[in-house]
A and B are shown apart, each in its own frame.
Chain A
């Protein structure tokens, strides 16, 4: 619980946090605070980034960063939720703090069209290079042809 208290002391109302019954902490922040909050978490020992999830819910694009702090007595799992605008999604890149985000951010750019500022070499990861520019399959308005 101490990480929720630390964030509430610094940011007050901008941070919404809940804990579910499987001991996962869900924290929601605006996208302007993303870099500061993740740098703060990394200084406090949350050094394992499991993955970054991207999800299009019709109005906005939700990004979730899943982090773990491994400890000898207990392990804490935190999920940071943030939003990006659907028509022009731009989010700061995290490769300086977490080098493994290099691969995860390329995957989200490929399948959802979110641009990460500061990422060197942001190109498609899974789909072939010769597909058109706005071909992003995980968006809700992308219809699969029969």
Chain B
């Protein structure tokens, strides 16, 4: 049987696959249309053919950066179907890994958004600090990404005293660096010029378009799954929802930096309050246990927003239906609304501002409505174009945005 190989947006020489079509008049954007689905792998159909425990290792590969959130949400939903509660120490370890993942994901995003603006120095510093977090995660779980530590009924590995000491050290270091970055960003004129007033999403629009995650919290709306519908041990930890009233890309940067400080506080609290006990998983749930006939829903706050799982079981060793809704899909409607009226050079910060997990753009098609001309640019070209355009038109923009 012969195999058909198409060469499309997914190709070794391209970055990441998504396709947008923008309609422009001169330099201003009038309308936009997203075109997604290039990384569709049929995971929901595949999950119906594997057993409950094999799905743990399939579903952590949905996303590389928020892999523990996917696995933890699936484990939480499956525990609701099996009607069991994991032991206390397991919940503390699970939450510790979730907060460490939030730290390294926000540091990665900080580097990426600074790279879009052209401030490569901060990109390098942020990714150098991220290495400390990844070294700690490798010590706890055995791998730097794809640290499968959750199972149905608890966690797989225990955590030792040395690892807790190192976790407190890393948390203090990252909190200090995050406050340092906040001071730099609010004083640097290039950063403020490129991000203030860009990508405006008002409070009413954010609620109407059902945005999730730091995107909606930067518009002044207090919505966070950990605060409104606490799961696990979040109703006991020292946790506050972080909001900001700016409604633009600068506010999203400030919200994520402050969330890093809150995560460091939670990690220190866990290291001091973790209960001393021996059991980290339930012995009665094995890879060959059959659940009752049931259906359940579970939500978790991933670094990008609200992650949603729905699972239905029919009493056999395979689940009948697994439904996943990632937070980036919920924010796509907001991108379409946010880009209207902006220049082409503002596209990279706006799209990177919602922290797209499944993609950035790889190929942008710009259709000039007045001249009926089509231009295709790759993502690298549009980033260099936007940095050069802002350098040439600096004074005009400053007057306009005052």
A53-B323, A66-B310 known; A103-B332 Cβ under 8 A:
yes
| A137, B43: Cα distance in complex, Å | 11
| A22, B297: Cα distance in complex, Å | 9
| A127, B299: Cα distance in complex, Å | 27
CB under 8 Å from chain B, chain A span 97-146: 98-100, 102-104, 124-128, 137-138, 144
Number of residues from A at the complex interface, CB < 8 A:
32
Judging by beta carbons under 8 Å apart, are A50 and B299 in contact?
yes
Judging by beta carbons under 8 Å apart, are A24 and B297 in contact?
yes
Contact of B37 among A24, A77, A127 (CB under 8 A): A127
Judging by beta carbons under 8 Å apart, are B229 and A51 in contact?
no
| Max chain A C-beta neighbours (<10 A), residue from B210, B308, B320 | B210
Q: Which residue of B lies closest to A71 (CB)?
A: B228
A50-B325, A127-B37 known; A100-B297 Cβ under 8 A:
no
Is A55 positioned at the interface, with any CB of B under 8 Å from its CB?
A: yes
Is A28 positioned at the interface, with any CB of B under 8 Å from its CB?
A: no
Contact of B228 among A51, A57, A70 (CB under 8 A): A70
Judging by beta carbons under 8 Å apart, are A126 and B37 in contact?
yes
A53-B323, A66-B297, A125-B36 known; A137-B333 Cβ under 8 A:
no
Which chain B residues border A102 with CB–CB below 8 Å? 333
Q: Which residue of A lies closest to B49 (CB)?
A: A144
| A66, B298: Cα distance in complex, Å | 11
Judging by beta carbons under 8 Å apart, are A55 and B312 in contact?
yes
Which chain B residues border A103 with CB–CB below 8 Å? 329, 332-333
Q: Which residue of A lies closest to B231 (CB)?
A: A22
Is B165 positioned at the interface, with any CB of A under 8 Å from its CB?
A: no
| A75, B210: Cα distance in complex, Å | 16
Q: How far is the CB of B185 from chain A (nearest CB, A)?
A: 30
A70-B228, A125-B36, A125-B37 known; A137-B323 Cβ under 8 A:
no
Judging by beta carbons under 8 Å apart, are A144 and B45 in contact?
yes
Which chain A residues border B330 with CB–CB below 8 Å? 51, 100
Is A93 positioned at the interface, with any CB of B under 8 Å from its CB?
A: no
Q: How far is the CB of B61 from chain A (nearest CB, A)?
A: 18
Is B375 positioned at the interface, with any CB of A under 8 Å from its CB?
A: no
Q: How far is the CB of A73 from chain B (nearest CB, A)?
A: 10
Is B391 positioned at the interface, with any CB of A under 8 Å from its CB?
A: no
Q: Which residue of B lies closest to A48 (CB)?
A: B210
Which chain A residues border B209 with CB–CB below 8 Å? 99-100
Q: How far is the CB of A138 from chain B (nearest CB, A)?
A: 6
Q: Which residue of A lies closest to B306 (CB)?
A: A50
Q: Which residue of A lies closest to B34 (CB)?
A: A103
Number of residues from B at the complex interface, CB < 8 A:
30
Which chain B residues border A104 with CB–CB below 8 Å? 325
Judging by beta carbons under 8 Å apart, are A98 and B37 in contact?
no
Is A41 positioned at the interface, with any CB of B under 8 Å from its CB?
A: no
Q: How far is the CB of A136 from chain B (nearest CB, A)?
A: 11
Is A79 positioned at the interface, with any CB of B under 8 Å from its CB?
A: yes
Which chain B residues border A127 with CB–CB below 8 Å? 37, 40
Is B42 positioned at the interface, with any CB of A under 8 Å from its CB?
A: yes
| A81, B398: Cα distance in complex, Å | 53
Q: How far is the CB of A16 from chain B (nearest CB, A)?
A: 15
Judging by beta carbons under 8 Å apart, are A75 and B229 in contact?
yes
Which chain B residues border A125 with CB–CB below 8 Å? 36-37
Which chain A residues border B222 with CB–CB below 8 Å? 70
A64-B310, A100-B333, A138-B45 known; A49-B321 Cβ under 8 A:
no
How does the 8 Å CB contact mask read for A38-55 relative to B, with 1 for contact and 0 for none? Answer: 000000000111110101
Q: How far is the CB of A96 from chain B (nearest CB, A)?
A: 12
Judging by beta carbons under 8 Å apart, are A49 and B329 in contact?
no
Q: How far is the CB of B298 from chain A (nearest CB, A)?
A: 8
| Max chain A C-beta neighbours (<10 A), residue from B44, B80, B228, B297 | B297
Judging by beta carbons under 8 Å apart, are A137 and B45 in contact?
yes
Q: Which residue of A lies closest to B80 (CB)?
A: A22
Judging by beta carbons under 8 Å apart, are B323 and A51 in contact?
yes
Judging by beta carbons under 8 Å apart, are A99 and B208 in contact?
yes
Which chain A residues border B377 with CB–CB below 8 Å? none
Is B365 positioned at the interface, with any CB of A under 8 Å from its CB?
A: no
Judging by beta carbons under 8 Å apart, are A98 and B323 in contact?
no
Which chain A residues border B229 with CB–CB below 8 Å? 75, 77
| A15, B310: Cα distance in complex, Å | 22
| A128, B37: Cα distance in complex, Å | 8
9 A-B pairs closest in CB distance: A126-B37, A100-B210, A51-B325, A126-B40, A75-B228, A53-B323, A55-B321, A50-B308, A75-B229
24 A-B interface contacts by CB (under 8 A): A22-B80, A47-B207, A48-B210, A48-B223, A50-B308, A50-B325, A51-B308, A53-B310, A53-B321, A55-B320, A57-B320, A66-B308, A70-B222, A70-B228, A98-B210, A99-B210, A100-B209, A100-B333, A125-B36, A126-B36, A126-B40, A127-B37, A137-B42, A137-B45
Name 12 extra pairs, CB < 8 A, besides A50-B299, A50-B306. Answer: A47-B207, A47-B210, A48-B223, A50-B308, A51-B325, A55-B323, A57-B320, A66-B308, A75-B229, A77-B229, A99-B208, A128-B37
